[in-house]
Copies of this chain bind each other. A is one copy, B any other.
Amino acid sequence: MIDLNCDMGEGFGHWAAGMDAAVMPHITSTNIACGSHAGDPQLMQATVALAQQHGIAIGAHPGYPDLQGFGRRPMSLTPDEVYNLVLFQIGALHAFTVAAGAALVHVKPHGALYNYAANDWLAADAISRAIVDFNPALILVGLAGSALVESGSDHGLAVAREAFADRAYERDGSLQSRRIAGAVHTEPERVMAQALMIARDRQVKASDGSTIDIDADTICLHGDSDRAASLAQAIRSGLHEAEVAIRPLQEVLAQRR
When C-beta atoms are compared, the residue in chain B nearest to A112 turns out to be B76
Asked if A164 CB lies within 8 Å of chain B CBs, one says no
Asked if A170 CB lies within 8 Å of chain B CBs, one says no
Question: Which of B12, B74, B134 touches A67 (beta carbons < 8 Å)?
Answer: B12
Give the number of copies in the complex: 4
Which of A93-101, A186-194, A201-209 interfaces with chain B?
A: A93-101
Asked if A66 CB lies within 8 Å of chain B CBs, one says yes
Whether the Cβ atoms of A68 and B133 lie closer than 8 Å is no
Which of A50-58, A79-87, A147-155 interfaces with chain B?
A: A79-87
Please give the residue numbers on chain A whose beta carbons come within 8 Å of chain B beta carbons, in ascending order: 10-15, 17, 35, 38, 40-42, 44-45, 65-70, 72-77, 80-81, 83-85, 87-96, 98-99, 112, 130, 133-135
Given contacts A88-B35, A90-B95, contact A13 B44 (CB under 8 A): no
A45 to B130, CA, bound (A): 12
A57 to B211, CA, bound (A): 55
Whether the Cβ atoms of A68 and B134 lie closer than 8 Å is no
When C-beta atoms are compared, the residue in chain B nearest to A80 turns out to be B42
For residue A73, which residues in chain B have a CB less than 8 angstroms away from its CB? 75-77
When C-beta atoms are compared, the residue in chain B nearest to A68 turns out to be B13
A44 to B133, CA, bound (A): 15
For residue A90, which residues in chain B have a CB less than 8 angstroms away from its CB? 95
Whether the Cβ atoms of B13 and A67 lie closer than 8 Å is yes
Q: List 18 A-B contacts (CB under 8 A).
A: A11-B15, A12-B15, A12-B67, A13-B68, A13-B70, A14-B38, A14-B69, A41-B84, A42-B80, A45-B84, A66-B75, A69-B75, A73-B77, A84-B96, A88-B96, A91-B95, A92-B92, A94-B94
For residue A65, which residues in chain B have a CB less than 8 angstroms away from its CB? 66, 68
Whether the Cβ atoms of A76 and B77 lie closer than 8 Å is no
For residue A38, which residues in chain B have a CB less than 8 angstroms away from its CB? 14
For residue A72, which residues in chain B have a CB less than 8 angstroms away from its CB? 14
When C-beta atoms are compared, the residue in chain B nearest to A65 turns out to be B68
A214 to B96, CA, bound (A): 36
Question: Which of B17, B75, B81 touches A76 (beta carbons < 8 Å)?
Answer: B75
Whether the Cβ atoms of A75 and B77 lie closer than 8 Å is no
When C-beta atoms are compared, the residue in chain B nearest to A131 turns out to be B99
CB distance from A43 to the nearest CB of B (A): 9
When C-beta atoms are compared, the residue in chain B nearest to A135 turns out to be B98
